[in-house]
Amino acid sequence: MDELVLNWELGTAGLLILAVSAVAVLLILIMALKVHAFLALMLTSIGTALAAGIAPGSIVDALAFGFHPTLGDVMLLVALGAMLGRMVEASGGAQVLADKMIGVVGEKRAGLGLSLASLLMGFPIFFDAGLVVMMPIIYAVARRVGGSFLAIALPAAVAFSAMHIFAPPHPGPVAASAIVGADIGLVMIVGLVFAAIIWFVVGTQLAPRLGMRFDVPVPTILDSDKERTGFESSPKVSTIVALLILPLVLILLNTGLNTFGATRPDTEAFLADGWVSGLRLLGETPIALLITVVVSMFVLGWGAGKKGDLVEKITDSALGPICSVVLITGAGGMFGGVLRVTGIGDAVAGSLNDIGLPVIVAAYLIAQIVRLAQGSATVALTTAASLMVGVIASGDFSQLQIVAIVMAMSAGSVGFAHVNDSGFWLVSRFFGMDMKQTLATWTLIQGAMAIVGFALSLVLFGVASAIA
């Protein structure tokens, strides 16, 4: 982004007051005045930028700073995931898989089985991509089981989120590990254990209880009129499972090659090799989803005797309903981006870093407050890691202690997601919740994940200190 022109600069206290005021204005616009979330986010972003002293000529650049990358990342993943989900749903595959899952685990354990499958899927695939791919299965299971939709859906979202926040190869823990010099293999092992524990405590115990507080119907965003389209083909369970596993296999291929390359002395040359770079490309998340969409067009469409114009119609029909999701999610990134360019996260984090708290407590609090201030979990984690790297380097910490610090920062980076987080709006729209319901469920769930994660980090740090 080009250098922003500032008419004035606010101190840390002023920036904090501005951030709190901006969130309050946004809540009033959406909850009290019923302004559409996209418009409310855009208006609040502009007002926040002006109040922060950003010159009018730099306002558009400030808005684009968060909007463009968020929209770019989300649009590809959500669009491709929605196409895949629509074909799986319209073919009857989602219902077939849901019936099979319920037949195996029973209706009472359907939500648990669904969230466990999401946990396994969440290891290699990013939160937003995994959630979108899994949505038709979540919808189908919820319709079959009945009862509270959120009690079924929220545990699955927790599973994806726990993996995304704590376990490599996801970007946050990988970046933090690289900054502070943590052993990435040890971070992966500990991160997987943390993710599993947090999924069980928060995902299977707390999330269903919070979900049952609200009567939210199963969203119709991926629905289709099977009688009108004629896309119904009742595919085999094995076919649908293979389609869902395909992107995971491709992404794991990318992860495996990157991990293996990192252990070689000629890392850059190995990863740049023609065959290796080609295979790595297949495992990039957008490419893996694109390949899966094309394969599903063959398997569920042309291979099942469907005409080309019908296949095209089904895939095209997936895009219209998700436009609102994508735009609101991008606007959430815009709001968070404006808060980042004001410097509030760095200002508050720097002040905290100077207080002299115990290293693991400071690491958690810095990540948590930066997350609350500007919304991005990855930015919160990397900011905390950048501020703590000097303290860690000057201390006599074992690798296990450093990993515990990384886990504490990861926990802080997930806590209490709210209106400045693009993921908040993704969950809100795909789960059919209004903002108040999302704050009362997803925000509390993410806060609980942070608290449990920090508690586990403290235990690990204590154990590591005892054996050091």
Query: Tens digits of per-residue pLDDT, 358-398?
Result: 889 988 988 888 888 777 777 788 778 877 777 787 778 88
Average pLDDT estimate for 241-259: 82
Instruction: Give the whole-angstrom CA distance, residue 269 versus residue 118.
Output: 35
The predicted structure's pLDDT at residue 410? 93
**How many CA atoms, within 13 angstroms, populate the side-chain half-sphere of residue 284?**
10
Contact 48, 18 (CB under 8 A): yes
241 against 208, higher pLDDT: 208
- Identity at 314, one-letter amino acid code: I
Taking all residues of the chain, what is their mean pLDDT, rounded to a whole number? 83
pLDDT band at 150 (very low <50, low <70, confident <90, very high): very high
The pLDDT tens digits of the residues spanning 276-323 come to 888 888 888 789 889 999 999 999 888 888 888 888 988 888 887 778
336 against 369, higher pLDDT: 369
The predicted structure's pLDDT at residue 351? 63
Cα dihedral 66, 69, 73, 75 in deg (nearest 10): 80
- Residue bearing tokens 């707390």: 206
- Identity at 55, one-letter amino acid code: A
Instruction: Give the whole-angstrom CA distance, residue 120 versus residue 122.
Output: 5
Instruction: Give the whole-angstrom CA distance, residue 243 versus residue 371.
Output: 35
72-76, 99-103, 152-156, 280-284: least confidently modelled range: 72-76
Percentages helix, strand, coil for the chain, rounded to the nearest 5? Answer: 80, 0, 20
Q: Residue 227 pLDDT > 50, yes or no? A: no
- Residue bearing tokens 């108040």: 436
Two tokens, residue 369: 């407050």
Average pLDDT estimate for 170-189: 81
152 against 370, higher pLDDT: 152
The predicted structure's pLDDT at residue 443? 94
Sign of CA dihedral 260, 264, 269, 275: negative
Phi-psi region at 310: left, alpha or beta (left = phi > 0; alpha = psi -120 to 50): alpha
How far is CA 407 from each of CA 187, 196, 205, 300, rounded to the nearest angstrom? 8, 13, 22, 42
Backbone phi, psi, residue 283, to 5°: -95, 0
Query: Which span out of 74-78, 112-116, 445-449 was modeled with the highest average pLDDT?
Result: 445-449
pLDDT band at 226 (very low <50, low <70, confident <90, very high): very low
Instruction: Give the whole-angstrom CA distance, residue 262 versus residue 24.
Output: 46
The predicted structure's pLDDT at residue 76? 81
Instruction: Give the whole-angstrom CA distance, residue 287 versus residue 251.
Output: 9
